[in-house]
Amino acid sequence: TFDFGSLNKKYDLIFIDGQFVDTLKFYLLSVPLLNPGRTIVIDDAVKYAWKMEWFFEYLEKNNIAHSLEKLDEDDGVLVILR
């Protein structure tokens, strides 16, 4: 397992492409690494939105700005602004 706490940098963009069951874990690990006002992108969020319903509920409940961006006929990404 990678130790995200060992990173001493801040990023403008973080791209998450992993198992959907771990989406919240990856998101929570990413937020402290992100510069204010920057973006997290989560892959395959349109095609597999049904696997991420609980994560969308988390974003809504916590008033986290986000949007689904369709990239082709049946898929796209979730864009989260922090």
Chain CA centroid to CA 42, Å? 4
> According to the model, what pLDDT value does residue 8 have?
79
Question: Which residues, in sequence order, are bridge partners of residue 41?
Answer: 15, 79
Cα(25)–Cα(2) distance, integer angstroms: 13
Cα(82)–Cα(72) distance, integer angstroms: 25
> According to the model, what pLDDT value does residue 4 have?
67
Cα(43)–Cα(9) distance, integer angstroms: 23
> According to the model, what pLDDT value does residue 2 have?
65
> According to the model, what pLDDT value does residue 9 have?
87
What pLDDT tens digit does each residue of the chain (82 aa) get? 567 667 778 999 999 998 999 999 999 999 999 999 999 999 999 999 999 999 999 999 999 999 999 998 889 999 999 8
Amino acid at 24: L
Cα(8)–Cα(33) distance, integer angstroms: 8
